[in-house]
Amino acid sequence: MQIEFTICSQSMLLAYLPQPINEQKQELIWAMADAANELQKVRECVCGMNNIAVFTHEIEYDELKELKIELENIFKNLKPRQINGRIIEIEVNYGGEIGVDLIQMAKAKNISPQELVRLHTQPLYTVFFLGFLPGFAYLGGLDERLYHPRLSSPRKSIKAGSVGIGGSQTGVYPSASPGGWNLIGSTDAVLFDPQKSEPNLLMAGDRLKFIAKEVLV
């Protein structure tokens, strides 16, 4: 597997790993960030899902090109970095007033709502990174049978704690927000609390298990 960094500005390089997204590739992204942060020219690395942005200190364009080549060479010898995160369980009420798309999604998959819930609660998801909203965790591990297109017209407001599926992703909205994911349930868990010393419930490398508290159909 190869990686190619693209110069995006005078102080930033960006690279994507090829599809499909998986945990081993994300571990390579984490390892790339560790290695890049050791370089004197690098100011900060930001890991996304299957991608990484490298921000530099003020350097000349020729130095930026040299850094690009150096990072690509470093990647050739990288070993995936595993993060021994916590295992966190979140109870979910599936269906009902907030999980308004559960029945429709189940019909589209030609399965029962109970089977959809079973498939959703079966994996131990990996937190790849946080983004979009404070405390919003991008998760790896959704069963391919539950992949489902996002809504053609996003909702203007989704309640905090809403659990949804969009494309190949599932997750929990930590705060009220517009959104285009299919809503299948809700949780009382607080994913982001700015009053705490560590405001995020989930961090990159953590494992998340959804627990079905109730299924309303």
For the entire predicted model, the pTM comes to 0.88
The arithmetic mean of pLDDT across residues 44-51, rounded, is 93
Q: How far is CA 173 from CA 86, 154, 182, 205, in A?
A: 20, 14, 12, 19
pLDDT at 81 over 90: no
Complete domains list, the chain, with CATH: 4-76 (3.30.1360.40), 87-216 (2.40.100.10)
Please give the angle made by the CA atoms of 200, 203 and 207, to the nearest 5 degrees: 120
Q: What is the CA radius of gyration of the chain?
A: 19
pLDDT at 1 over 90: no
pLDDT at 2 over 90: no
